[in-house]
Amino acid sequence: MTAESLPPAPPPLAGLLAEAAGPCDETTERVLDAALELYLHFGLRRTTVEDVARRAGLSRVTVYRRFARKGDLTQAVILRELRRFLADFEAAITPLPTLAEQLVEGFAVTLRAARSHPLLTRMLATEPEALLPELTIHAGPFLALARDFLTDHALRADPALTRARVAPVAELFVRLALSLVLTPQTCVPLDTDEDLRAYARDHLAPLLAQ
């Protein structure tokens, strides 16, 4: 793969994350807070945009101006949760001295966070058919955000690396983590943080050295 075949370099990380979350005004935050609360209590299918507007103390028109479809609102909620996770992820791995160690720890952090996330675990357990489209056929925005985040982090940590070299590894990291969240059954022991670290150390970290 050549640099020419890769997508253009993304905007600065802060801008990318801000764009992913949509307008960061108080009203939008109220809508997203209300949607998340209702999704946790009642699920995706039973929650309507009207319910969200009522819980947020806003008119339906106000909500629809920001999110034309319920699917848009759901994506915005998921992207905001991803944005929050990425901030925690970077805080957890940045103190480690090498990029390989950061990748290994990041893999464990990612799976641990996904396995304990209230909305993700609830939806996968109670109505996976409502959530799976957002994490599979409609997951492009989430994958791109996470891939570009990891790529930017790696390039800052090791300026000798190139985007053409790092981006495919970052995408593999994201796709593998998502696959293990959605289909956790595997012949490889991945139950503990140390299991996850060992797997990443053996199978992911070497890719950066190739």
* Domain CATH for 76: 1.10.357.10
CB atoms within 10 A of CB 116: 9
DSSP, res 188? S
The answer to the question of residue 89 being in a domain is: yes
Q: How far apart are CA 90 and CA 81, in angstroms?
A: 14
Q: How far apart are CA 181 and CA 102, in angstroms?
A: 20
The answer to the question of residue 4 being in a domain is: no
Task: Please choose, from the candidates 43, 74, 50, the residue with its C-alpha nearest in 3D space to the C-alpha of residue 64.
Answer: 50
At 24 the pLDDT is 63
For 39-66, letters b (16+ CB in 10 Å) and e give beeebbeebebeebbebbebeeeebbeb
Predicted TM-score (pTM) above 0.85: no
Q: How far apart are CA 181 and CA 30, in angstroms?
A: 29
The answer to the question of residue 2 being in a domain is: no
At 54 the pLDDT is 98
How many domains does the chain contain in total? 1
At 208 the pLDDT is 86
At 159 the pLDDT is 93
The answer to the question of residue 6 being in a domain is: no
The answer to the question of residue 7 being in a domain is: no
Give me the residues of the chain with pLDDT under 50, please: 1-18, 20-23
Domain range for 133 is 12-209
At 12 the pLDDT is 39
Contact in structure between 163 and 194 (CB atoms under 8 Å): no
The answer to the question of residue 141 being in a domain is: yes
